[in-house]
Amino acid sequence: MGRCAECNEMANHFLYLEDGTYTELCMECFNAWYCKRMGLDYAFYAHPKTITVEGSKFSLMVEVQVSGVTYYAYQGRRDAQLSFSVVLPFSIDGKTAMQILKDKIAVQNREPSRYDDALQESGTIGIMYDDGPLDAAQFIIDGKNYDEQAFLALLREKRGSNLVFRFEPRVPHPDSTWSTYAEHLPTQPMIRYDARYDI
């Protein structure tokens, strides 16, 4: 993939347009294009490139989708990034979103998810594709990689417990690319009538 047609950054979206042509866009320019398509102003969701939470600096990524805006905060090695996210309705502006995301990180990152290679009572576990077999996964806990067997060994130590969980989006891999047809993307946002959101 080449350079973004709008800003000359590295592109990661290959977009087939309805007039039969195509364009390549970076994430930010795709977000702006998609918002405009749905009649929204991407400037409403303006955000900094980084945030700092209790002394820890996180990079940011934003992804506009038909049902809302996902804000990702991440740090660490490319293959073991600590990742947090919030999925918010279009009615929440970028400034408010940053405070919601910071609050979530402060709560979830206050204590490590593991201690002496044992899982704590609560924490965050990232699930990534393994670079090896297609059906394998890597588990990221406090910036450390665990393969499937090592992860099961951690769970084994918690026998007699219930595992209560909720899946949320994880920051896309830095080398991720997307390809889509404009005609497949809605022209109206999916409005959430329930204004509550999960963090």
pLDDT tens, position by position, 85-137: 999 999 999 999 999 999 999 888 777 777 777 788 888 888 887 776 667 88
What is the C-alpha to C-alpha distance for residues 180 and 24, in angstroms, rounded to an integer?
11
What is the C-alpha to C-alpha distance for residues 97 and 36, in angstroms, rounded to an integer?
20
Q: Confidence class of residue 45 from pLDDT cuts 50, 70 and 90?
A: very high
**Is 38 in contact with 25 (CB distance < 8 Å)?**
no
The sign one gets for the Cα dihedral 2, 6, 9, 13 is negative
- Tokens read off for 21: 């042509």
pLDDT the model gives residue 99: 96
User: Which helix H or strand E contains 108, and what residues bound it?
Assistant: helix 94-108
Please tell me the total number of residues recorded for the chain in this structure: 199
pLDDT the model gives residue 190: 79
pLDDT the model gives residue 192: 54
Of all residues in the chain, the percent with pLDDT exceeding 70 is 92
**Is 150 in contact with 110 (CB distance < 8 Å)?**
no
What is the C-alpha to C-alpha distance for residues 74 and 189, in angstroms, rounded to an integer?
27
Instruction: Kindly state the DSSP code that residue 119 receives in the 8-state scheme.
Output: E
Residues 6+ apart with CB under 8 A from 119: 113, 141, 154, 155, 157, 158
Q: Show the CA angle centred on residue 191, arms to residues 23 and 38, nearest 5°.
A: 25
Backbone angles phi, psi at 78, to 5 degrees: -60, -30
Domain boundaries, the chain: 13-184
User: Which helix H or strand E contains 25, and what residues bound it?
Assistant: strand 22-25
Give the residue from 190, 182, 86, 83 showing the smallest Cα distance to 140: 83
User: Which helix H or strand E contains 152, and what residues bound it?
Assistant: helix 148-156
pLDDT tens, position by position, 140-194: 888 788 889 999 999 998 889 998 888 888 888 878 899 999 999 999 887 654 4
pLDDT tens, position by position, 53-93: 989 899 999 999 998 999 999 988 776 678 899 999 999 99
- Tokens read off for 29: 């320019």
User: Would the pLDDT of 43 be above 80?
Assistant: yes
